[in-house]
Amino acid sequence: MQRSLLTVLLIVLSFPAILFAQKAKFGNAHVGLFYPVSTNGVHAPEYTNSFSLHLISGVSANETSFALYGLTGIIKNNATGVQVAGISNHIQNQARGVQIAGILNQIKNQAAGIQVAGVTNLTGSFNGMQIAGFCNLSKASGSGVQIGGFFNKAGDVQMQVAGFINEAHKVKGMQIAGFINIADSSDFPVGIVNIIKNGEQSIGISIDETLTTMATFRSGGRVLYGILGLGYHFKNSKSLYGLEAGIGAHLLNTEHFRINAEAATLTLADFKKGEYFRSSFRLFPALKIGDRIELFGGPSFNFVTYSNDKGKGLVSHYLWSQTKRDHFHGMYIGVSGGIAVRL
């Protein structure tokens, strides 16, 4: 009697598993036009396929090897291998492998591997590489590289490269943006403006050998920082206003002293005919006064080019110079210095 009751109980408890096993379907190949016009018909969302080919769109439970969609692919659970879609891939759980889409790759949870999209990659988290023409968006932390034409956003990430802006919690490697980087922690940001929570921002005033005075905003992490400056030139009335941008690095950093190396480009203009450009490499020993004030100064190596006498008379001696028609090119050694206040 007890054995019979135990047998009945085991059958009842195992019934859901038996029912689920009956619903799970496996197929080698799934070919179709669009759902449900395919070899798996209306049951396509229940199938796990090793190969799928759809002229317009396709639906499946899982893909384990290769799937190609003319427009859109929808995978209800997991995907491994390679998925290629003319417009978008939608994977509602996890993906492992390569996803390529003309517009969008959307992976609800973790993506491990490579995602390439013409516009956007959207994932819960990722481990690998994301490349998008416009933006990569990862909701949670991961480990990998994001390369976006305009914008990247992630939790923790190994590296970000964007045409305009990057945003992350913690960046373990480099963070490179055409304009701005934002992070809680990023030691190696490369951008004009870097808003790093554990980093450093300062405003400084400096003057160089040509009597160009600049007000400069420096921002970055513990090692690299960006430079953005506006200035006024007192010596040559033909080139009055200055705009400067560049990057710098803290080569040596102690409690009261540090050495900064900077590479920057300056343009002077009066918004009339002619141009003046100067590219400089500067080495600045700096003395820290308290927690917020810094005095700096040092030599610079400069390459200058100008037209219509925009820079004539600014420098008296050049290491090398050349004039072609109305364009002048020259190299010289200069000096500059100033004061900075940490924000």
The mean pLDDT of the chain is 91
**pLDDT reported for residue 334:** 97
Q: Which residue ranges make up each domain of the chain?
A: 24-196, 200-342
**pLDDT reported for residue 324:** 87
| Neighbouring C-beta atoms of residue 321, cutoff 10 Å | 13
Could you give phi then psi for residue 13, rounded to 5 degrees? -65, -30
Q: Of all residues in the chain, what percent carry a pLDDT higher than 70?
A: 92
For residues 284 and 296, is the Cβ–Cβ distance under 8 A? yes
pLDDT surpasses 80 at 18 = no
**pLDDT reported for residue 1:** 45
User: In the CATH scheme, what is the code of domain 200-342?
Assistant: 2.40.160
For residues 279 and 293, is the Cβ–Cβ distance under 8 A? no
**pLDDT reported for residue 143:** 84
- What average pLDDT score do residues 219-240 get? 88
Q: Assign 281 a pLDDT band (cuts: 50, 70, 90).
A: very high
- What average pLDDT score do residues 305-320 get? 87
**pLDDT reported for residue 24:** 63
Alpha carbon of residue 224 to chain centroid:
15
**pLDDT reported for residue 22:** 41
Could you give phi then psi for residue 324, rounded to 5 degrees? -125, 115
- What average pLDDT score do residues 73-96 get? 97
For residues 311 and 280, is the Cβ–Cβ distance under 8 A? no
**What would the pLDDT profile of 163-219 be if each residue is shown by its tens digit?**
999 999 999 999 999 999 999 999 999 999 999 999 999 999 999 999 999 999 999
**pLDDT reported for residue 127:** 94
CB burial class (10 A; 0-12, 13-18, 19+) of residue 209? Answer: middle
* Beta strands 62-69 and 47-54, pairing class: parallel
**What would the pLDDT profile of 128-163 be if each residue is shown by its tens digit?**
999 999 999 999 877 899 999 999 999 999 999 999
Q: What distances in angstroms separate CA 83 from CA 71, 139, 329, one per listed residue?
A: 12, 22, 53
Q: Assign 117 a pLDDT band (cuts: 50, 70, 90).
A: very high
**pLDDT reported for residue 186:** 95
- The size of the chain, in residues, is 343
**What would the pLDDT profile of 22-48 be if each residue is shown by its tens digit?**
456 888 899 999 999 999 999 999 999
Q: Assign 273 a pLDDT band (cuts: 50, 70, 90).
A: confident
pLDDT surpasses 60 at 9 = no
**What would the pLDDT profile of 231-255 be if each residue is shown by its tens digit?**
998 876 666 899 999 999 999 999 9
Which is more confidently placed, 262 or 311?
262
For residues 60 and 44, is the Cβ–Cβ distance under 8 A? yes
Q: Which of 122-126, 260-264, 324-328 has the lowest mean pLDDT?
A: 324-328
